[in-house]
Amino acid sequence: MSGIEGKVVAITGASSGIGAATALLLAERGAKVVLGARGSDRLAALAARIAAAGGEAAYARTDVKRRDDLSDLVKLAYERYGKLDALVNNAGIGPISPLDDLRVEEWEEMIDINIKGVLYGIAAALPVFRKQGFGHFVNIASTAGHIIRPNMSVYSGTKFAVRAISEGLRQEAGNKLRVTIISPGFVRTDIVETVTNPQVKTQLVESLDKFAMPPDAIARAIAFAIEQPADVDVNEIIVRPTAQG
């Protein structure tokens, strides 16, 4: 029996990319997954795929900019399965651009999704974890939360914030709750589609084709953290493509 079998795991941004890969892997290993994302049709298709393979999945349309949506996702997990072992705060966007572009609305969207979305997830799950006496936050940051590059100022700022919030949460969590930061490098996902600066987007697509990792690489890192015994807290995992500088 794996350390994942029977666990109930909620995942935001679950309809594609890292979220979908994580849902498939955890379900394959015996977890009950509760999927949240904005695309209901894609969620339904993913849940059906998991069920067809013999797994268990529930889903709810979830916009992490809405605190009530996160509360409803956690509530669905608890009411459907009687507990929540882990919340994977995965939803994020990355419309990077030079600050001179003044794409202020995109800055605000990154703050709302990448930072406030994580905080809303914490606010929804923390009382449940305290009541249960166990629980695990897995917060998806980025290598951009370690190193700042041109055009990535605001995105990096949001990911530095995720790491800071997560580390503070870990220190406050006590000896019953676990907190893991996953910092991926360049991953082959549709996050590039959120980039609206044509030059930056072209550069990203070229890099994507050359060396980006598959989302499965990050799913395996998430699974590794979740499957550890309750007295082992994997604090941070950084996963880069071998060719990434």
Catalytically annotated residues: 155
Cα–Cα distance between 60 and 56 in angstroms, integer?
Answer: 14
Dihedral over alpha carbons 13, 15, 21, 22 (to 10 degrees): 50
Cα–Cα distance between 123 and 58 in angstroms, integer?
Answer: 21
Cα–Cα distance between 68 and 36 in angstroms, integer?
Answer: 12
Cα–Cα distance between 240 and 56 in angstroms, integer?
Answer: 31
At a CB cut-off of 8 Å and minimum separation 6, what does 21 contact?
214, 215, 216, 218, 219
